[in-house]
Amino acid sequence: MIRKTLKKDDVKASFFFTGDFYRNPQFKNIIRKLKKDGNYLGAHSDKHLLYADWTNRDSLLVTEQEFKTDLESNYKEMDKFGLRKDEAQYFLPAYEWYNKSIASWTGEKGLKLVNFSPGTRSTADYTYPEMKSYRSSEEIYKSIMDYEPGSKNGLNGFILLVHFGTDPKRTDKFYNRLDELIADLKGKGYQFKRIDELLE
């Protein structure tokens, strides 16, 4: 659905997958197709490690060596698809949660840490009804459209994060509204860019 929508709307996106995703035989075909379509494919931790405590961000849950080994393993899997490290230097930390140490260690590996832009509920598209933090696709959509006119810069330079896959218990998949979202934002004059095009 996501690939079909992006191709239809002539939009290139950025995908950050774990090493486990890259090495899963079931996903090889879609990874190759996303790459062939000209999308950006990057790293998101090999094993989706939680780097820091949720209540105390400065409290590390991994050592420097554990972090770097995990990251190297992620890129090792990417390399099998011809995704070279020097061409995929942007790294999205697992859980989008990190601290100064993680940012510093990322830099030492010659990579650039990125994260989503705050202000909308787009990241809640992974939630399902049994969760207290559940947000419907309509709520998420509205949060994006409401944020745009209220922000000084609108959505210029905004990094909007949407999950590639979600729990089966969430039947209200937000990516089913991706075509509508792209059309609405294009109608407001926005263009969509890969992360490397946006930041470089």
Q: How far apart are CA 11 and CA 193, in angstroms?
A: 8
Residue bearing the bigger pLDDT, 46 or 200: 46
CB 147, CB 155: distance < 8 Å: yes
Q: pTM of the full predicted structure?
A: 0.95
pLDDT range class, residue 119, cuts 50, 70, 90:
very high
pLDDT for the residue 30:
97
* Calpha distance 81→189 (Å, rounded): 35
pLDDT at position 200 over 90: no
Domains and CATH numbers, the chain: 2-199 (3.20.20.370)
Give the tens place of pLDDT for each residue, 23-37.
999 999 999 999 999
- Locus of tokens 């992360």: 195
- Calpha distance 155→86 (Å, rounded): 28
Q: Work out the end-to-end distance of the chain between its first and last CA atoms, rounded to an integer number of angstroms.
A: 29
Helix (H) or strand (E) holding 14: strand 14-17
- Write down the mean pLDDT value for the chain: 97
Distances (CA, A) of 53 to 14, 39, 97, 113, 124: 27, 32, 9, 19, 20
pLDDT in tens, 57-115: 999 999 999 999 999 999 999 999 999 999 999 999 999 999 999 999 999 999 999 99
Q: Residue 14 pLDDT > 90, yes or no? A: yes
